[in-house]
């Protein structure tokens, strides 16, 4: 690697004092426009580049944003976080910050990683995801008075900067769509209440409110809550569907795409035509659901926009320009596909 040109060398070549050149190259002083241009011209010609480490020592700022996320098992998709990460890297880099990606750890060990990065001056702020209802990281960072912005909400009594997608509105769109197709016998599959994050609670709330508003009563045994995975959704829907067509649900709402895929497989195994005899909806609009046969209706979250808003808010806080609104809810979008595009054919 070529040696860096020093400020001293630039000063000698440009014919100005070390002090003047140093201050110009570090944007610390106003000199005449002519002097400034002359110094920068010489510096650029000589290949001068600011030394990040030396500059950090002076400013005690690292220019780094810490980011960590809870990984999915390798046999499950995790499109949301890949896309979110790309958007925050894009936004932060375009605004002079780099992303330091550090690993997820279970429980309180995760907080230790945050603590360590703060104590070693590694980062200037954090972007948080996978927010839990009583998130220990939020408690810790607020105690430390250390800058962060969250993708997601937590305990509603806590006040901290966040951007989130309005899952309740997404579920309302799903319910209104199904009701407009004539569905009355609607069943739901959600995560268990114990496991449920604020995400699950928010979606459930929107769902129940919209069903009540439409005058649709969902019997308790048609509200399943469990692991939130393929196997649970498959087993549950198999039991619901393996009965008289006039008694079984005509539509099943799931709270994430992989559960919807479980329901599709159960229907297929029973010879029930998805899209004709049974409507199914997912949530997240994962890349694969467009290719399913039939293709799956789902809710698309504006992930790129969330990432940009989170980054913008954090960088505003770091540079002393905090935005007035630090609680942003973005609206998702209903993507209707073949799994629910036909009117209900059962009375």
DSSP-derived letter for residue 125 is E
Any idea which residue has 């937590």 for tokens? 154
Q: What stretches of the chain adopt beta strand conformation (E)?
A: 64-68, 98-101, 125-128, 148-151, 162-165, 186-191, 223-226, 251-254, 279-281, 298-300, 327-330, 333-335
Angle at 129 between CA 127 and CA 132, to 5 degrees: 130
User: Whose Cβ is closer to a copy of itself: residue 28's or residue 60's?
Assistant: 60
Residues 139-168 interacting with a copy of itself (rule: CB under 8 A):
144-146
The interface region with a copy of itself, picked from 52-60, 152-160, 183-191, 215-223 by CB under 8 A, is 52-60
Contacts of 314 (CB under 8 A, 6+ apart): 65, 125, 126, 127, 147, 148, 149, 161
Q: Is 287 in the site for a copy of itself (CB under 8 A)?
A: yes
Q: Is 313 in the site for a copy of itself (CB under 8 A)?
A: no
Q: Is 268 in the site for a copy of itself (CB under 8 A)?
A: yes
Tell me which of 81, 209, 216, 270 binds a copy of itself, using CB under 8 A: 81
Q: Is 71 in the site for a copy of itself (CB under 8 A)?
A: yes
User: Whose Cβ is closer to a copy of itself: residue 206's or residue 262's?
Assistant: 262
3-state secondary structure of 294: coil
Contacts of 299 (CB under 8 A, 6+ apart): 170, 171, 173, 174, 281, 282, 283, 284, 285, 332, 333, 334, 335
Count of residues interacting with a copy of itself (CB under 8 A): 60
> CA 241, CA 206: separation in Å to the nearest integer?
25
Q: Is 27 in the site for a copy of itself (CB under 8 A)?
A: no
- Residue 65's φ and ψ, nearest 5 degrees, are -115, 130
Q: Is 85 in the site for a copy of itself (CB under 8 A)?
A: yes
Q: Is 32 in the site for a copy of itself (CB under 8 A)?
A: no
User: Whose Cβ is closer to a copy of itself: residue 136's or residue 327's?
Assistant: 136
User: Whose Cβ is closer to a copy of itself: residue 198's or residue 297's?
Assistant: 297
- Residue 293's φ and ψ, nearest 5 degrees, are -120, 110
Q: Is 317 in the site for a copy of itself (CB under 8 A)?
A: no
Tell me which of 118, 189, 204, 211 binds a copy of itself, using CB under 8 A: 118
User: Whose Cβ is closer to a copy of itself: residue 30's or residue 122's?
Assistant: 122
- Is residue 137 within 8 A of residue 128, CB to CB? The reply is yes
Q: What does the binding site for a copy of itself look like in residue numbers (CB under 8 A)?
A: 1-2, 4, 49-54, 56-57, 60, 62, 64, 67, 71-72, 74-79, 81-83, 85-86, 89-90, 93, 98-103, 116, 118-122, 144-146, 230, 258, 261-262, 265, 268, 286-288, 290-291, 293, 303-304
């Amino acid at each position: 690697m070529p040696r860096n040109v020093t400020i001293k060398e630039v000063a000698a070549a440009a014919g100005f004092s070390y002090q003047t050149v140093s201050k110009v190259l570090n944007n610390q002083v106003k000199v005449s426009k002519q002097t400034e241009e002359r110094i920068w011209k010489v510096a650029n010609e000589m290949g001068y580049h600011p030394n990040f480490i030396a500059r950090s020592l002076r400013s005690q700022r690292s220019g780094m944003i810490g980011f960590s996320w809870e990984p999915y098992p390798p046999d499950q998709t995790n499109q949301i976080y890949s896309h979110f990460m790309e958007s925050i890297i894009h936004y932060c880099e375009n605004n002079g910050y780099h992303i330091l990606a550090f690993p997820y750890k279970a429980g309180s060990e995760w907080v230790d990683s945050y603590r360590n990065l703060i104590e070693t001056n590694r980062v200037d702020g954090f972007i948080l995801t996978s927010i839990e209802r009583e998130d220990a990281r939020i408690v810790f960072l607020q105690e430390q008075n250390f800058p962060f912005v969250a993708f997601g909400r937590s305990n509603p009594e806590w006040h901290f900067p966040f951007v989130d997608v309005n899952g309740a509105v997404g579920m309302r769109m799903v319910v209104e769509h199904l009701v407009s197709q004539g569905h009355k016998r609607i069943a739901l599959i959600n995560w268990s209440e114990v496991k449920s994050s604020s995400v699950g609670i928010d979606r459930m709330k929107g769902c129940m409110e919209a069903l009540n508003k439409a005058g649709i009563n969902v019997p308790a045994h048609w509200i399943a809550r469990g692991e939130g995975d393929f196997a649970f959704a498959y087993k549950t829907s198999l039991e619901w569907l393996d009965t008289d067509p006039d008694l079984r649900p005509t539509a099943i709402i799931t709270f994430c795409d992989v559960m919807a895929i479980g329901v599709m497989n159960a229907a297929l195994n029973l010879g029930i035509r998805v899209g004709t005899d049974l409507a199914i909806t997912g949530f997240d609009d994962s890349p694969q659901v467009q290719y399913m046969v039939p293709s799956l209706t789902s809710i698309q979250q504006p992930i790129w926009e969330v990432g940009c808003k989170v980054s913008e808010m954090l960088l505003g806080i770091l540079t002393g320009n905090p935005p007035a609104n630090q609680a942003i809810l973005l609206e998702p979008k209903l993507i209707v596909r073949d799994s629910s595009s036909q009117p209900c054919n059962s009375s």
